[in-house]
Structures are given as structure tokens and as C-alpha cells.
Structure 1
Amino acid sequence: MGDLVTTRLVLHPMTVGEAGRLVAGTPGDGDRWAPGYPADGDVSAAGRFLGTCASTGDPRPFGNYEIRRREDGRAIGGIGFHGPPDEDGAVTIGYGLVPSARGRGYASEALREMLRFARECGVTRVKGDADLGNVASQHVMAAAGMRPAGQDARVRYFETAWTDAAAGSGRS
């Protein structure tokens, strides 16, 4: 499976080697990391990805993706699914950017592409959440077309659902 490309970004499916270097904090010869990358969330996601690969195999296309700027190829964050679709065809997604890349619409652009891709893969619903105090992340999900789906004392939930199950190609 190849990269997903948007107007300004490349969403690169993470490999085991890339995830290992990210967890170790040691870029390889071909890695181009923006200042501040990887953040704690990127390291945590890469660790979960490595654990999944070790226990059940590579989850692609429902794994982690590095968010890279097309203009310079630098990794500025990550986005990914928390696993394959459940029995109802739903997935959960998460994302994050280094501070220097925030406020430029990159997260919304990446999330819109992942929503498009999920639908193409036959997913029927994508879920996400943000802490109540993380208004910026809530704006990202709303800007990408996700709708509020409730909240609890700590978290606001968002989702996008498609009723036409035939929309996806079943690509995986």
C-alpha cells in the first residue's frame, strides 16, 4: 500500500522499521523530522503499532501514518486508526501535530483524507474524541466533517457515519 497524498501533505503508512526508529528517537538516513517530532503521542502510537505487529501482524491499511509536508518531506505528526474495523464496520482515529505545524489546517487536511480513505476501504463509521479543554482538536474534527456524538465529564466524542455500505471498494 502506498502513500496517501493531499494538496500539501503525504500520509505515509508507517513500517516496523520506521516505528522502531521513532520509539528510539533516532531518525534513519531517509527520515526527515521537523523540530519537535516525534512528540509523546507519536512515540506512544508507534509503540502500540509495534505491539500490534508483533502480536497479530501488520494492521495496514488500519495502522499508523506519518504526516509529512509535501514541500520539504519533513514529518510533522501522525494520524492513524486504533485498529481494524469492528463487527459494525467502525474504526477509531487519532492524530497529532508538532506545535510548529499547528494552526495551518494540516490536521484537518490529513483527517479529511483519512476519512475519505476509510470510506473507500468499506468503513461505515469513524469515531474520534478530544478532551473537553482541547478545543483545537474539536475544531479539527468539525472542519473535517465529523459531528459531535456526545461527551462525558472529560471527553467530547465525534463521528462520521455513512449509510451506503456499498461506498467502499473493500480495498485493504
Structure 2
Amino acid sequence: MTDLHTARLRLHAIDAAEGKRIAARRAEAEDAWADDFPFDGDVIGVTAFLRTSATHGEQRPFGHYRITRAADGKAIGGIGFKGQPRDGCVEVGYGLAPSARGHGYAAEALGALLDVAADHGLSRVVADTTGDNVASRRTLERAGFRHIDTNGELYLYEAVLIPQALR
């Protein structure tokens, strides 16, 4: 799987070995991490990816991606699909190290995942966040998601994708 590139980011599809390093918070010589990477959200997301991969095998392209800032080559967060698509739909989750927040990186990375989903014939991508996480809600909206429902504390969002033939 080729890395995904945006104007300011590189999204690298991680494998189990890298996932284990992130989950254990133990960088090796080849890892260039921001000082506050991985944060708790990264560990949770990567642990779920590792569990799914161990149970169901290779997840790519619908796996987990390390977000790397192109300007300095530092890992600043993670983004990924929460499992394989079903009925033309897939769920995503994301998070950034605190030092990388507020720069639009998450919305930019979400755009790249929306392209992957559309390129694989999906019609929808969904995500959720808590109602009090205003920054995440705004990020989803900037990336093209719209609020579709509220389920207790969770705000549910969806992005309707344009088929590749019509783009």
C-alpha cells in the first residue's frame, strides 16, 4: 500500500510491528515522533487496529494510518478506518498529539481517507464524537461531514461520497 499524501501530511498505513511500538510508546531508531506522540488516543486506536488485524488479518487499505507532518517528518497522530466496509459504508476515527492540534491537520487527513473510501466504491463514511468535543465536531464539518443524529453523549456524522466516475 502506497502512503497517502496531502499538501502538508503523509499518511502511512502501519503494520503490526509499528502498531506494537506505538501501543507500547517505544520508538525505535527509524521512528520520528513528535515529543507528545503517541498520546492516549493513539494507543487506543492502534490497539483496536492490532486486535482487529489479529482476528481478521490484513486490513489495508481500511486499516490505521500514522499521520506525519511533511515539514519536519514527525509523527503527530493517527487516523483510520474502524473495520472493513459494510453495505457501502465505513467508520473512521482520528486523533492528533496536543502539539499538532489547531492547524487543520485532522480535517486534511480525513479528506485523504474520504478519497480512499470513494476510490473503493463506498457511498458513505461515518464518524462520531462527544457533544462537548467542539473541536472534533468542527473538524468533521470542515472535512465535509454533516451532523445526522445524537445518541446520548455521541454526535453522529456522515459524509456522502461522490462516486469516482463523477469526480
TM over 0.5: yes
Task: Say whether 1:31 aligns with 2:31.
Answer: yes
8 Å CA contact 2:145, 2:157 repeated in 1: yes
Correspondence 1:9-24 to 2 at 5 A: 9-24=9-24
1:118 Cα offset (Å): 1.0
Q: Deviations over 1:56-95 (max 9, x none)?
A: 1011110100000001110000000001101x11000000
Report sequence identity in percent.
Answer: 45
Correspondence 1:21-170 to 2 at 5 A: 21-86=21-86, 88-162=87-161, 164=163
Counterparts of 2:166 and 2:125 in 1: how far apart (Å)? 14
Closer/same/farther in 2, CA of residues 24 and 137 from structure 1, 3 Å limit: same
SS in 2 for 1:118: helix
Tell me which amino acid in the other structure corresponds to 1:93: V
SS in 2 for 1:126: strand
SS in 2 for 1:58: coil
Closer/same/farther in 2, CA of residues 81 and 167 from structure 1, 3 Å limit: farther
8 Å CA contact 1:66, 1:75 repeated in 2: yes
SS in 1 for 2:38: coil
1:47 Cα offset (Å): 1.2
1:152 Cα offset (Å): 2.3
Tell me which amino acid in the other structure corresponds to 2:88: G
Counterparts of 2:42 and 2:150 in 1: how far apart (Å)? 25
Counterparts of 1:12 and 1:147 in 2: how far apart (Å)? 26
1:28 Cα offset (Å): 1.2
Query: What is the TM-score of this pair, normalised by structure 1?
Result: 0.92
1:2 Cα offset (Å): 1.0
Tell me which amino acid in the other structure corresponds to 1:24: A
1:34 Cα offset (Å): 0.3
Query: What is the TM-score of this pair, normalised by structure 2?
Result: 0.95
Q: Where does residue 8 of structure 1 map in the other structure?
A: 8
1:164 Cα offset (Å): 4.2
Structure 1 gaps, min length 5 = none
Tell me which stretches of 4 or more aligned residues in structure 1 moved more than 2 Å. 162-168
SS in 1 for 2:116: helix
Over the residues paired in the alignment, what is the CA RMSD in angstroms? 1.5
Q: How many residues align?
A: 167
